Amino acid sequence: MSAVPVRGVSLTERLYPDLSWRAIADIDLLIDPGDVRAAYDALKQLGMADAENPWNTEALDRLARRSALHDPELRLVSAQGGSVELHWDWVEPALPTDDLCSAPEAYLVYLCRHAGNHFWWDLRWLTDIELFLREFGANLDWDLVWRLGRANGAAGLAPPLFSFAQASLAVNCTSSSSDTATPPVGAWPVALSNG
């Protein structure tokens, strides 16, 4: 079983000039969908407890089968107040083994889908994505970004963000091929409503 840090911890270390610039409320770990039970059991053995009601076997198995489009996660807390969230909603079939930034297109789609699924309520997510685009935007394969976005239900969540990136960061977020063509910046509201 492998678990890869995702979002807060990994991005703060990689993108922020100082670790104190981004608050971290929990540790998010990305796991393979088939490892939900093993990861849960391992954290329980370390003394962590269910954040809400205890999970029985049937409920945990049902949660593990939850679609990635429904932001599957499982939160456990320690007696000291720390929390760990397990996620199993990576956007590609294979989970990178150590550094999610080795697949920057997939990581960007993952970040956009997560923030969009939560209605962009946390400005840290927007800042994470902005810094991610500053770091990786110029070298991203935008055809791949849009293909992954469409395949993972994120194509409708990302256009306003990519419009911002094009206007503010001078990052070209458009696809070069006709099968993954993106609408012009002025058409983002239409793209969002049709997403």
* Spatial contact of 46 and 102, defined as CB atoms under 8 Å apart: no
Residue 181 has pLDDT above 70, yes or no: no
pLDDT tens track for 91-113: 998 988 878 999 999 999 999 88
Q: Pull the structure tokens for residue 172.
A: 């070209």
What DSSP string runs through the chain?
A: --EEE-THHHHHHHH-SSGGGS---SEEEEE-GGGHHHHHHHHHHTT-EESSSPPPHHHHHHHHT--GGG--EEEEE-TTS-EEEEE---SSSS--SS-GGGSHHHHHHHHHHHHHHTTT--HHHHHHHHHHHHHHGGG--HHHHHHHHHHTT-TTTSHHHHHHHHHHH------SSGGG----GGGHHHHHHH-
pLDDT tens track for 117-133: 877 788 888 889 889 98
Of 23, 33, 29, residue with least CA distance to 127: 23
The reported pLDDT for the residue numbered 184 is 45
Q: Pull the structure tokens for residue 83.
A: 């929390």
- Report the C-alpha gap between 4 and 51 in whole angstroms: 21
The domains found in the chain, sorted by start residue, are 1-89 (3.10.180), 92-195 (no CATH)
Average pLDDT over residues 65-85: 87
What percentage of the chain exceeds 70 in pLDDT?
79
The reported pLDDT for the residue numbered 119 is 78
The reported pLDDT for the residue numbered 190 is 38
| The one-letter amino acid at 131 | L
